[in-house]
Amino acid sequence: MRSNRRVEYKSFPREIESWILLSKVLSAGFSGVNKILKELGLSKETFSAPLEKLSRISKIDREIVDFIRKKIPEINLKEDFKLIQELNIKLITFEDSFYPPNLKTIFDPPFLIYLRGELKREDEKAVALVGTRRATNYGKIVAKRLARELARAGLTVVSGMARGIDTYAHEGALEEGGRTIAVLGCGVDIVYPPENRSLMEEIIKQGAVISEFSLGTRPFARNFPRRNRIISGLSMGVVVVEAPLKSGALITADFALEQGREVFAVPGAITSPYSRGNNRLIKEGAKVVEDVSDILEELGISLVKKDETLMDYQLSFEEKAVFDGLTSSPIHIDDIVEKSGFSAAKVADILTRLQLKGIVKELPGKLFFKEV
């Protein structure tokens, strides 16, 4: 929700204004921004350079030259300033000392990041969880479970806040009290998808929402491949949870390989079209993920002590799936059934086993909650 507080417009410092203007060139769908920076540098004069000089820059076509010459001078940054103040948006340039170190190492890193929330040094230990928007119950369970366990191990979970796997990845990290970063393919002032408004607000409180696209940029399809390279760039490794053969998650995996990141894949049923991308990645050499330890061992990270107690209970996959759907607050058995995707009878049996292990407690009214 936007504040009704009136904000008096004051101009940005000239350098910041130039960064914002350049981000609008990118957000308009034009590539070659780094060519502009390399050839002309960053200053207000960049946008008033002689037409011939702009036209000589390699791979910069006439359309972008016309945009820079005609549109940039007409842009009024008054609305940007108001949004930045109202939504407490921070601007991080490539030159800033707190620019994410992992991201600095990739090819074509974003020159400007719009940030809501907070980036921390601990976010250098991050793992991306990505997958299809049309997630099955299996994919949802696995995404949330892995996110919770990664958060429990002290890692930041990175994803794209899209429907499906991304949403469950963020939710899992938040439920465990861990950090999570959402990378958007639109401006950070836009909630996409709209139903994730409350999720976005929670991520801002407990992590960060970032984008390289200027404020007001709509979620155009062309933006998402660029978004995906940032997801992998922020991370030590990318886990494809569930993905068909034509999936943006596989584009993220390709970026991860180019950037020297580890690529992981969760195996799926050979009959499921939503797991064919995962199974192909495994054939091509991606590391198989059956448990969070598969990720941590490959990255050389030890489980933190608070996870060891839970591991001592030797939970089966089904027990973990039900347990991960619980929180420290009581939840009704019908909701547990819906989250798990299992039958009511199976969930009741699993809950009984978890109670016998001393990690779940029942309250009157068929309410259950975690005890660890």
- Residues in the chain predicted with pLDDT less than 70, given as ranges, are 1-15, 28-74, 303-314, 372
| Token pair belonging to 89 | 């948006």
Residues in the chain: 372
| Token pair belonging to 88 | 């407490």
d(Cα 90, Cα 66) in Å, to the nearest integer?
30
Give, as one character, the DSSP assignment of residue 61: -
351-362 burial: b if 16+ Cβ within 10 Å, else e: bebbeebebbee
d(Cα 60, Cα 54) in Å, to the nearest integer?
8
User: Which burial class, exposed, middle or buried, applies to 75 when counting CB atoms under 10 A from its CB (0-12, 13-18, 19+)?
Assistant: middle
CB 280 within 8 A of CB 326: no
Q: Element (H or E) spanning 352, and its range? A: helix 344-356
Chain-centroid distance of CA 157 in Å reads: 7
Q: Strand 156-159: give its sheet, edge to edge.
A: 90-93, 112-117, 208-211, 180-183, 156-159, 126-131, 237-242, 262-265, 287-288
CB 334 within 8 A of CB 367: no
277-300 burial: b if 16+ Cβ within 10 Å, else e: bbbbbbeeebbebeebbbbbeebe
Place of tokens 């490539």: 94
| Token pair belonging to 207 | 């992590």
| Token pair belonging to 325 | 């759907």
d(Cα 50, Cα 39) in Å, to the nearest integer?
13
Extended beta strands in 44-125, E state: 90-93, 112-117
- 29 sits in the region (left: phi over 0; alpha: psi -120 to 50; else beta) called left
Q: Which of 358, 355, 317 minimizes the C-alpha distance to 333? A: 355
CA dihedral 100, 103, 105, 109 (to 10 degrees): -120
CB 219 within 8 A of CB 190: yes
Judged by DSSP in three states, 331 sits in: strand
pLDDT in the model for residue 372: 62
| Token pair belonging to 346 | 């199976």
Give, as one character, the DSSP assignment of residue 303: P
pLDDT in the model for residue 341: 83
d(Cα 239, Cα 289) in Å, to the nearest integer?
8
CB 23 within 8 A of CB 217: no
What is the pTM for the complete model shown?
A: 0.75
Per DSSP, the residues of 246-295 read S-HHHHHHHHHHHTT-EEEE----TT-GGGHHHHHHHHTTPEE-SSHHHH
- Residue 247 has, within 13 A of its CA and on its CB side, a CA count of 28
pLDDT in the model for residue 201: 98
| Token pair belonging to 33 | 């921004």
